[in-house]
Amino acid sequence: MQRSVSAQLTLQVAAPARLAFIVAVASRPPAERLHLRHDGEAIEPREVTDAAGTRIHVVDVAPGTVTLDYGATVDGRADEASGTELELLEYLRPSRYGEADRLAPTAHAEFAGLAGADLLAAVSSWVGTRLSYVPGSSQPTDGAVQTLLAGQGVCRDYAHLVIGLLRALDVPARLAAVYAPGLDPMDFHAVAEAHVDGAWHVVDATTLAPRSTLVRIATGRDAADTAFLSSYGGNVTLESMLVTAIADELPDDDVTRLVRLG
Q: What is the pLDDT at residue 195?
A: 96
Going by C-alpha positions, the residue among 5, 17, 11, 9 that lies closest to residue 68 is 9
For residue 133, the surrounding DSSP H or E stretch is strand 132-133
Q: Is the pLDDT of residue 149 over 80?
A: yes
Task: Convert the pLDDT of each residue in 47-65 to its tens digit.
Answer: 999 988 899 999 999 999 9
3-state DSSP assignment of residue 53:
coil
Residues in CB range of 220: below 8 A, 6 or more apart: 50, 52, 54, 174, 175, 226
CB burial readout 176-209, b (16+ within 10 A) else e: bbbbbbbbeebbbbbbbbbbbeeebbbbbbbebb
Euclidean distance between CA atoms 233 and 200, whole angstroms: 36
pTM over 0.85: yes
Q: Taking residues 160-166, what's their average pLDDT?
A: 98
Q: Taking residues 100-122, what's their average pLDDT?
A: 97
Is-same-fold flag (2-76+228-246; 85-224)?
Answer: no
Q: What is the DSSP string of 70-98?
A: EEEEEES--------HHHHHHTTS--SS-
Q: Is the pLDDT of residue 79 over 70?
A: no
- List the CATH code of the domain at 2-76+228-246: 2.60.40.2250
3-state DSSP assignment of residue 49:
strand
Fold of the domain spanning 85-224? C8orf32 fold (3.10.620)
Euclidean distance between CA atoms 125 and 120, whole angstroms: 9
Domain extents in the chain: 2-76+228-246, 85-224
